[in-house]
Amino acid sequence: MLLRALMTTAADAAPLAGAPPPNDEATPVFVARGLCKTYGSGEATIHALRDLDLDILPGEFVVLLGPSGSGKSTLLNILGGLDAPTSGRAAWRDHELTGADEAALTAYRRDHVGFVFQFYNLIPSLTARENVELVAEIARDPMQPEEALALVGLSHRLDHFPGQLSGGEQQRVAVARAIVKRPDALLCDEPTGALDVETGKLVLSAIARANREVGATTVVITHNAAIAGMADRVLRMGGGRIVAIEPNARRLAPEELVW
């Protein structure tokens, strides 16, 4: 009990001010205005983001597409509360992400965001179920870990350690871990980057299903154009800006994707 209490108290995780507004279809959940992010100084200055504006609607499935260096990871990091812009503002509903302190950002990630990493980042000493449980333990209203793993089609691999799972399976555990807290936003950074086509499709369908059934606003970044077909909107990035916005009339199922 003591350990449980130790692991679940979040002393430095204070919630951001303000209650979430009613889920109005028309109100964007992510809002970014005039976002700039620069690294370095003088001649060596790199402009990762240049005066970027963005609105993402609730439950929307957005794919950020672009070559490396286009600024898509920087944008995702700012939306995920991992990085701060040099200027401009970013907000999640009425939570200002710019200027929030470390504790507030931790609480934001904890309560609202699910992350999927390119290299899965599972804890090797925990089984699939336990990796999911780990996040469920610190969430406000989590689903059962088994339920999350069923959503990604891994009910039969609950008690396997990451070392005993294939790359695709590990990434699906990571998706289950991201959605077990019923996140408002699901942020995926190159989720298929380390996977082959068929395995990648399995992971993408898990993400799509989570988006559909949990209702999480989903942002996937990739440099793989083939994935664009499954999005509501595709934001093409280049040189730190959004260079094109391409809505899809019909979202393709992951199985239909070709790359």
Partner 1 sequence: MVSVLDRKVLRDVWALRGQVVTIALLIGAGVAVLVMSVSSFLSLRGAQQAFYAESRFAEVFAEVKRAPRTLLARLAEIPGVAVVEGRVGGEARVDWLGAEVPVAGRVLSLPASGEQSPLNRLRLLAGRLPEPTRHDEAVIHAAFAEAWQLRPGDEIAVILNGRRERFRIAGIAHSPEFVFTSRPGNPLPDDRGFVVLWANEEAVARAFDMQGAFGEAVLTLAPGASEPAAIAELDRLLLPWGGRGAYGRRDQPSHRFLEDELAEQRTLAVTVPLIFFGIAAFLLNVVLGRIVEAQREQVAALKALGYPSLPIAAHYAKFVAVICLLGSALGIAAGAWMGAGMLGNYRPFFRFPEMPYLLPAWLPLVAVTTSFAVALLGVLAALRRILRLPAAEGLRPPRPAAFGGRALSGLGRRLPAGAKIPLRGLLGRPLRTLLTVLGIALAVPMVVLGLFWWDAMDSMVELQFDRIERGDAFVALTDPRPSRAVREMARLPGVLAAEGQRIVPVRLRAAQRSRLLALTGLPEGAELRVPRNADLRPVPIPHDGLALSRRLAERLGVREGDTVQVEVLEGARRVHDLPVAALVEDIIGFSALMEIGALNRLMREDDLVSHVALRVDPMAAEVLWQHLAERPRVAATNVKAVWLRVFDEVIAGLVLTSAMTLTGFGVIIAVGVVYNSARVALQERGWEMASLRVLGFTRQEVSRILLAELAVAVLVAVPLGLVLAQWIVELVLGARDNESFDVPAAISTATFTTAALVVLGAALASAVAVRRRIDQLDLVAALKARD
Provide the binding-site residues for partner 1, judged by CB under 8 A.
3-4, 6-13, 73, 77, 80, 82-83, 102-103, 106-107, 109-111, 113, 115, 117-119, 121-127, 130-131, 133-135, 137-138, 159, 161-164, 167, 170, 177-178, 189, 194
Q: Is the dihedral of CA 246, 249, 250, 256 positive or negative?
A: negative
Task: Decide whether 151 or 187 has the Cβ nearer to partner 1.
Answer: 187
The minimum distance between CB 81 and partner 1, in angstroms, equals 9
Give 240: exposed, middle or buried? Use CB within 10 Å, 0-12, 13-18, 19+. Answer: buried
Task: Decide whether 73 or 211 has the Cβ nearer to partner 1.
Answer: 73
The minimum distance between CB 7 and partner 1, in angstroms, equals 3
The minimum distance between CB 78 and partner 1, in angstroms, equals 10
Task: Decide whether 75 or 229 has the Cβ nearer to partner 1.
Answer: 75
Task: Decide whether 60 or 111 has the Cβ nearer to partner 1.
Answer: 111
- The alpha helices in 62-192, defined as continuous H runs, are 72-79, 102-112, 128-136, 145-151, 167-179
Identify the helix (H) or strand (E) that includes residue 65: strand 61-65
Identify the helix (H) or strand (E) that includes residue 12: none
The minimum distance between CB 69 and partner 1, in angstroms, equals 13
- Using DSSP, state whether 47 is helix, strand or coil: strand
Per the DSSP assignment, residues forming a β-bridge with 235 are: 64, 245
Task: Decide whether 112 or 201 has the Cβ nearer to partner 1.
Answer: 112
